[in-house]
Amino acid sequence: MKPQRIGIFGGTFDPPHVGHLILAAEAQDQLRLDRLLWVLTPDPPHKQNQRITPLEIRVRLLQAAIGDNRSFELCRVEMDRPGPHYAVDTVRILKDQVSSAEMFYLIGGDSLHDLPTWYQPQQLIELIDGLGVMRRPGDQVDLSELEQKIPGIALKIRFIEAPLLEISARQIRQRISEGRAYRYYVPPGVYQLIEELGVYHLPSSSVMRVKS
């Protein structure tokens, strides 16, 4: 029997937007993934100086983004353990849970550029079967430089073909706080929930970082 192919897509998803959904859907199609796990990170190590929306709200937003897509799953592997939440530990745990599966870690081009600064990047690359990368406007990816820092990474990278999308959660938060149009940057269910809960509507400078 062919091993199951599992995509692991980690993020803060504050809020989830169409860039995330297009990345996930294209990765699923192009890497022929059987399951795609959306791994919500409670308290990302690289966003320590940033205000993060409480976890329970981000869970609801992510559930709304996933909607009725049955091959997308909200994965609690990081929410259910104390931090710091490193990708390498997440992959180890998931591999223990489904040892026969092939694991594909999914990221945007900006994250690929930053990968050498992640915790144990070499071990992460050795653990996974592929690294699905969707390019992002302005990302700088020098594969030979990356290969020097993390030997073996080039062979693992699978670029995902998709239009470059100049959309980020930061930009959406800013648009909302300034009362600008943002509706079609997020899936309909996410838009409805943001409006219902009033999240992101205060100017970002007036809100304290809230730890979940």
Task: Give me the residues that bind ligand ATP (CB under 6 A), please.
Answer: 11-14, 19-20, 23, 107-108, 110-111, 134, 136, 165, 167-170
83-120 CB burial, b ≥16 within 10 A, e <16: eebbbbbbbeebbeeeeebbbbbbbbbbbbbebeebee
Q: How far is the CB of 2 from ligand ATP (least distance, A)?
A: 27
Nearest CA to 134 out of 114, 115, 152, 161 is that of 161
The nearer residue to ligand ATP, 20 or 156, going by C-beta atoms, is 20
- For residue 133, the minimal CB distance to ligand ATP (Å) is 9
In the complex with ligand ATP, the residue whose CB is nearer, 1 or 25, is 25
- Least CB distance to ligand ATP at residue 167 (A): 5
Cβ proximity to ligand ATP: between 12 and 90 the closer is: 12
Residue type, 3: P
| Sequence-separated (6 or more) residues with CB below 8 Å from residue 141 | 109, 112, 113, 133, 135
Closest to ligand ATP by CB, 99 or 140: 140
Q: Which residue is nearest to ligand ATP (CB)?
A: 108
